[in-house]
Structure 1
Amino acid sequence: MTRTGKAPTFGALLRDLAADAVVVDEVARAARANSPEVARLPAGEVHRQVVLLVTSGLGALERDEDPAGRDFTEARRLGAGRAAQGLSVAGLLRGVQAGRDRAVELVVRHGRAAGIADDVLLEGLLTIGRYAAAVEWAVVDGHRAAEREFVGTGTAARARLLGRLLLDGPAGTSPGELARFGLRPQGRYHCLLATRTDPALSHALHRQLIRHGGLLGTVEGRLAGLLPRCPGAATVDLLVLVAPAQPLQRAPAMYALCLAALRTATHRRLRGLRRLTDVAAETALDAQPALAELLRGTLLGALDPTDEFHRELARTALAWLDHGQRLDQTAAAVHVHPNTVRYRLRRLREVTGGPPVEEGGRCTVPETVHWWWALRGWLDGH
């Protein structure tokens, strides 16, 4: 922010900073850098926390009201959510306070650059400081209230153990602690991970899965688990991924794979319970975006993304590969006659040089992978 003409008001400065993605990112990075527990949270959640604090201060400044009269339900919900994720109140506060300190530094720096007098900056910072303190108190109050509830049900201890096992592995965890929650040091468990959603849906899914035994809880904002038996299905309308059973030592690796596969499956708009291995190829290919771009350019550079006929050719070819290079199955999938499929494949070959679709011919496995990857990426990217 540079000085241009008349200095803005303190409220206008704060509003501009709250809407500045770079500023919000700096504050969020400070919170994550000063609290290892906060650093494990998804970046988007930390950003939302930053916006909550800044907008609370902005509202306080504009309304000039007593903090005691405000509704801090969202702040309490934030604290309760962090407790459910296994964060300690000390780790949470370290992140909140580091973010607040960085925000103050940025307000002063940008305010002076914009020509706001130091006494105006000081008065504004004192005002929002009172509200920031009230927000922090509400966060802590929500965290402690949730912890008291969890103590009665064992939820907090379950979440902490599950988080440690999925993020760091079983090293340092005693057999007795594992046994307390039904796990065995030498057991093999299916890592389960669901998409973030409304807490009511997560709770309903939790009730369905708990009968399979093992350990379930919230990790990084998602329902996760280590189950001795693979669930047969999930009736809740959520995307749930389940990895093959593996030793506890491999739990962090399975969790990381499920997390990557969840992004791929979400992009494909998949729902229900899915095995990790069902989306293995797509997940592996999605991990190489630069290579995918090179492949698209090499194989499909002659296609025009603005030409609907070219897009129709690409969709038909992708369906052909998805259905085992069978004309009849492809025709049924795209609702045309097999001769139309044959014509489109030949036209695509004329335009791009491939894939090989001569009568009775088949793509080799590498050719199938290359063309499928290029076609899917070309259609998704345009």
Structure 2
Amino acid sequence: MRGQPGAEAPLERVIAAMAAQQSHVGGRLHADLAEHMPSYRAIPRELLDQIWHRHFRRALTVLREGTVPAPEDFDEADVARDRAARGVPLSDGLRAFRRALSAIRDLFLAEASERGLDPGLVVDRTTCLWELADVASLQIAAVHRQAEVASALSDARRRADFLRGLLYGTLSAAEIHSGAALYGLDLSRPYRAITAVPDGDLGPERLERSLESPSRRNGRRALLTVLGEAVAGVVEAKPETGDLEVTAGLGPPTDLATAHRSFRAAGRLLDAARAYGLRGVYDLGDLSWRVAVVAEPELAELLLDRCLRPLEAEGEFGALVEESVRAYLEKGRHIREVARSAHVHVNTVRYRLRRFEELTGMSLDAADTVVELSWALAARELRTPPRGPAAPSP
């Protein structure tokens, strides 16, 4: 049937009549799309006209030749990229294409009937139009998904570049303003920089999603990205981690223009939390002066030499002395509380504290001793951080 002799002249008259109505049918189609598909309202009319012309001419060629192009012959990449960039869902793109083909089919049937085209040829060419719709839809779906993936990767790169510049302090005021508008950050509100590393089998990509999702559910803005093997960004409030295997440092609240300062603090807090083997999200209020213990290893060594290493020569008794002075500080220097918790006599505690003073030459009544001993005990708690991703440094 597709090569039926003598059918060319009547078919050409039908095609010519259809071609004369291209603009009129296209206008009706545009109105229909605007009414029923809101995502298409933002697409310029001239662009829609170009795409309609392409679909219409291709359909006329199929009607004339009776053959459907192979999938690879459909060049829809430019359309798919444009629709993805404009946020048009794939489902809307396919619906719009189907509506266009349906309009062309209805026009063909009307003109074929009016001009008495052979019924067998009408059925054949109508079948060709449906085959065209199927083949083109598959190709449109494929290139649209490719365009969506490419667009998502491009968006992720732009977001990462914006956050990297924000956290490292390399953005201009104009760039901060435009980025904030693009990513929904409120310039009038304070944000806190966060740096997090996954523990266990949790990867950085999953960690990013896990930290962002609770914030969105709670209506708190969080903008994060993967930097190396860590996750970094800005949040409105301290994230809820629950059972999430993560260690994170949370910088102080600040405006976006000075987020890089909060980011530096977040990095120091993360280093401290990891050094103490902690899990969770920690800010300066959680770790306080212990951050400085990690940051000043030389001073920590000096105070260990002064406060605790003299006890080591006493063997097991020295360990008991250290345990007692630690409890003495933790219990607010109440000897009876120390004795009760250790299940020993008060005089035993007094003797151990006196031996500490004798061995170190320090007085537990002196304020400097309390500070230096607390520092040394905190340094004693430190352990070598496990191998894993390091915090991104400014």
1:221-247 residue CA offsets vs partner (Å, 9 max, x unmatched): 212221223345644132233222112
Counterparts of 1:265-304 in structure 2, within 5 Å, are 265-304=273-312
User: Counterparts of 2:268 and 2:281 in 1: how far apart (Å)?
Assistant: 16
SS across alignment from 2:281: strand
1:29-60 residue CA offsets vs partner (Å, 9 max, x unmatched): xxxxxxxxxxxxxxxxxxxxxxxxxxxxxxxx
CA positional deviation for 1:189: 0.5
Question: Which of 324, 336, 349 is the equivalent residue of 2:343?
Answer: 336
Counterparts of 1:117-266 in structure 2, within 5 Å, are 148=149, 151=152, 154-171=155-172, 173-197=175-199, 198-199=202-203, 200-211=206-217, 212-231=220-239, 234-266=242-274
User: Counterparts of 2:344 and 2:244 in 1: how far apart (Å)?
Assistant: 37
In the alignment, residue 166 of structure 2 is paired with which amino acid? L
In the alignment, residue 298 of structure 1 is paired with which amino acid? R
Q: How many correspondences in the alignment?
A: 231
In the alignment, residue 256 of structure 2 is paired with which amino acid? L
Change (3 A) 1:377 1:219: same
1:296-326 residue CA offsets vs partner (Å, 9 max, x unmatched): 3234452226823313322332232234323
SS across alignment from 1:243: strand
Change (3 A) 1:161 1:328: farther
Change (3 A) 1:152 1:195: closer
SS across alignment from 1:314: helix
Q: Which residue of 1 aligns with 2:353?
A: 345
User: Counterparts of 2:383 and 2:249 in 1: how far apart (Å)?
Assistant: 25
Change (3 A) 1:174 1:318: same
Q: Which residue of 2 aligns with 1:320?
A: 328
Q: Report the structure number with the largest CA radius of gyration.
A: 2
Change (3 A) 1:379 1:255: closer
SS across alignment from 1:190: strand
Change (3 A) 1:223 1:209: farther
CA positional deviation for 1:166: 0.9
Q: Which residue of 2 aligns with 1:83?
A: none
User: Counterparts of 2:383 and 2:235 in 1: how far apart (Å)?
Assistant: 37
User: Counterparts of 1:295 and 1:190 in 2: how far apart (Å)?
Assistant: 33
TM-score normalised to structure 1 length: 0.52
CA positional deviation for 1:338: 6.3
8 Å CA contact retained: 2:166, 2:259? yes
Q: Which residue of 2 aligns with 1:54?
A: none
SS across alignment from 2:333: coil
User: Counterparts of 1:287 and 1:158 in 2: how far apart (Å)?
Assistant: 31
SS across alignment from 1:195: strand
CA positional deviation for 1:336: 3.4
CA positional deviation for 1:266: 1.2
Change (3 A) 1:224 1:315: farther
CA positional deviation for 1:335: 4.4
In the alignment, residue 260 of structure 2 is paired with which amino acid? P
* Gap runs ≥5 in structure 2: 1-145, 385-394
SS across alignment from 1:230: coil
Change (3 A) 1:152 1:290: closer
Q: Which residue of 2 aligns with 1:371?
A: 373
User: Counterparts of 1:318 and 1:249 in 2: how far apart (Å)?
Assistant: 43
In the alignment, residue 208 of structure 1 is paired with which amino acid? P
CA RMSD of aligned residues (A): 3.3
Counterparts of 1:24-63 in structure 2, within 5 Å, are none
User: Counterparts of 1:328 and 1:267 in 2: how far apart (Å)?
Assistant: 33
Q: Which residue of 2 aligns with 1:28?
A: none
CA positional deviation for 1:269: 1.6
User: Counterparts of 1:376 and 1:228 in 2: how far apart (Å)?
Assistant: 31
CA positional deviation for 1:152: 6.1
CA positional deviation for 1:355: 4.2
User: Counterparts of 1:195 and 1:329 in 2: how far apart (Å)?
Assistant: 39
User: Counterparts of 1:375 and 1:314 in 2: how far apart (Å)?
Assistant: 9
User: Counterparts of 1:160 and 1:243 in 2: how far apart (Å)?
Assistant: 20
In the alignment, residue 191 of structure 2 is paired with which amino acid? Y
User: Counterparts of 1:273 and 1:261 in 2: how far apart (Å)?
Assistant: 9
User: Counterparts of 1:341 and 1:159 in 2: how far apart (Å)?
Assistant: 57
1:211-268 residue CA offsets vs partner (Å, 9 max, x unmatched): 4213122224212221223345644132233222112232222212211221211121
User: Counterparts of 2:194 and 2:299 in 1: how far apart (Å)?
Assistant: 30
Q: Which residue of 1 aligns with 2:27?
A: none
In the alignment, residue 184 of structure 1 is paired with which amino acid? D
8 Å CA contact retained: 2:185, 2:221? no
* Gap runs ≥5 in structure 1: 1-144, 357-361
User: Counterparts of 2:280 and 2:378 in 1: how far apart (Å)?
Assistant: 22
